[in-house]
Structure 1
Amino acid sequence: MIFLILGCLVLLVLVTVGRSGKPLRIRREWRFISAATSIATLTGAAYLAFREAWIPAVLLLGVAVSLMGSARVNLRRRAPAPSSLREPMSAEEARSILGVGADASAAEIQAAYTRLMRMAHPDKGGTSGLASQLNAARDRLLPK
Structure 2
Amino acid sequence: MPYLLLAIGIFFGIYGLYRFFLSANVKQVWALLLTGSFLAISTALFFLALTGRLPAALALLVGLWPFGVALWQKKKKARPESPSSSTMTREEALEVLGLKENASKEDIKKAYKDLIKKNHPDQEGTQWLAARINQARDILLK
Q: How high is the TM-score relative to the length of structure 1?
A: 0.49
Q: Which has the larger radius of gyration?
A: 1
Greater relative contact order (Cα < 8 A, sep 6+): 2
